Amino acid sequence: MLFHVDQVASILKEQNVGTHMDQETDRVALDSRACSYRTLFIGILGERVNGADFLEQALQKGANIAILQTPEQSYKAIEYKELANIYKAALFLVPNAVHALQKLAQSYVQRFPHLVKIAITGSAGKTTLKELLYSILSEKGETVATIGNLNSETGLPLSCFNIKAHHKYAVLEMGTNRAGEIEELVQVFPPNYAVITNIGTAHVGRLGSKEAIALEKRHIFDLLGPRDVAFIPQKDQFASLLAENVRSRVVFCSASTLKRFEHAQDMGLDGWIIYYHNCKIRFTLAGRHNLNNALLAIEVAYQIGIKPYVIKAGLEQIRPLSSRSEVIHGRITVFNDCYNASPESMRAALALMAPLRYARKIAMLGEMRELGPESNEIHASLASSIIEAGLDAVFLLGVRMKSLEMRLREIGYLGQIFPCSTYEQAEMALINFLKDDDLLLIKGSHSMGLERLIQSLENCGFLWPGGKREVSVV
């Protein structure tokens, strides 16, 4: 049982306006389609959809407690009460359904005082670091982690409800695209170990500047106490700002500060061999940025008290997630990193291409979103990284890529440029251009839908169905 209706009333300090008091719930859902027997349904008022409009569908599927935002029209409240009574469900009408969700999750987390809580935020690398820590900590004890990218004002509270009494560790991501969001999330999930991976330009269009992003991200440290630990990237330009007024111990992280780290051997698309504390760790994620993620995971695990051989076992279990640093083989080789894109991750992916030797090196790059008024210049700034990567051709998808196309032509890029306004145009041009033994990078914002290319490349015979990377043991 997650909640009895009396607990919900006490936590929210709201009156049950339904007549059914003896209800218990096993799970929480924001989508009526995800409801089943004994579900607590919370109807969120979104920008395009009001969850309250799906109350009846939720009740039909078995929801027995519902929390809705108090409607402006009084007749709507009467309708909600009538539906709740028909289905014998408890009903709460609250000023803000998102805050109600967060209060319930906050109360739920407090049931586990001995849980070791790790929170991660940053402009890039959150999910990778979460997966690395989850793998390492799972070698030591039962661990729960964010599923997918449930790291928002609603996603993180939902992730909290996955915590159970047998869990020793919880590793949750905290994302943000507005001021004040991290501050809310740490109230729900106050960490013992809080990590900022980096400060980049993702969501700069919403928050206004990189400094504003740094000020928002550092709220992850707000509730840390003297026995807790804050992890800050040592070489970040905002490292000093992030450390201001932190009440816990601060660890500034980099390869040079990690104790007992010897060196790392670059294995190209097959990842790295990391030499740490007399351990030879075979780490399969390619790229300097993923090495940095691994070293950060080692630092966090070390501070938690995890032994080197356990860290080695955890890191060697890691395989690329779909569309994240994923290498796929066939008649061509694909480096599929199209789950999302920021200027920093774009440069990191292009840098990975530079030392690789293939018949031809090609990139399909989709535009980046939420970069604000500097978007055109940020896109154009990728031109130097493309040249340094030694690409033979670039396919540029989206109107925001026009500035990058112009910059490449201005500085005399010798490769071929294929500007594309639609996905269909880009797919056709790419497939007509590809030849055996090419290396293809796929990178762009998630909303560009570039993951569709993988199926198309399989259908055309360039990739073997299911031909994911097979990692050799070194």
Average pLDDT over residues 348-352: 93
11: which 2 tokens? 């936590």
Nearest to 193, CA basis, from 117, 140, 293: 117
Tell me, what's the pLDDT at 202? 65
Q: What is the phi-psi region of residue 88: left when phi exceeds 0, alpha when psi lies from -120 to 50, beta otherwise?
A: left
Do 20 and 84 form a contact (C-beta atoms < 8 A)? yes
pLDDT at 472 over 60: no
Q: What is this structure's pTM?
A: 0.88
Helix (H) or strand (E) holding 181: helix 181-188
Handedness of CA 323, 141, 121, 285 (dihedral sign): negative
Q: DSSP state, 141?
A: S
Taking the C-alpha atoms of residue 283 and residue 269, their distance in angstroms, rounded to an integer, is 11
pLDDT digits (tens, 9 = 90+) for 404-444: 999 999 999 999 999 999 999 999 999 999 999 999 999 99
pLDDT digits (tens, 9 = 90+) for 121-176: 998 889 999 999 999 999 999 999 999 888 999 999 999 999 999 999 999 999 99
| Amino acid sitting at position 16 | N
pLDDT at 21 over 90: no
Do 191 and 174 form a contact (C-beta atoms < 8 A)? no
Do 186 and 214 form a contact (C-beta atoms < 8 A)? no
Do 276 and 308 form a contact (C-beta atoms < 8 A)? yes
Structure-token match 């969501």, residue found: 203
Taking the C-alpha atoms of residue 440 and residue 457, their distance in angstroms, rounded to an integer, is 11
Torsion angles phi and psi, residue 430, rounded to 5: -65, -50
pLDDT at 471 over 80: no
Task: Report the percent of the chain where pLDDT is more than 90.
Answer: 84
Structure-token match 């030797």, residue found: 357
Average pLDDT over residues 179-202: 93
Average pLDDT over residues 54-61: 97
Taking the C-alpha atoms of residue 469 and residue 327, their distance in angstroms, rounded to an integer, is 5
50: which 2 tokens? 């009001």
Nearest to 281, CA basis, from 268, 293, 294, 290: 294
Tell me, what's the pLDDT at 203? 62
Please count the CA atoms within 13 angstroms of the CA of 79 that sit on its side-chain side. Answer: 13
- Average pLDDT along the chain: 93
pLDDT digits (tens, 9 = 90+) for 226-269: 999 999 999 999 999 999 999 999 999 999 999 999 999 999 99
| Amino acid sitting at position 354 | A
Nearest to 435, CA basis, from 474, 402, 471, 392: 392
Strand runs labelled E in 243-368 = 249-253, 261-266, 272-276, 279-283, 326-330, 333-336, 360-366
Q: For residues 105 and 18, which has the higher predicted lDDT (pLDDT)?
A: 105
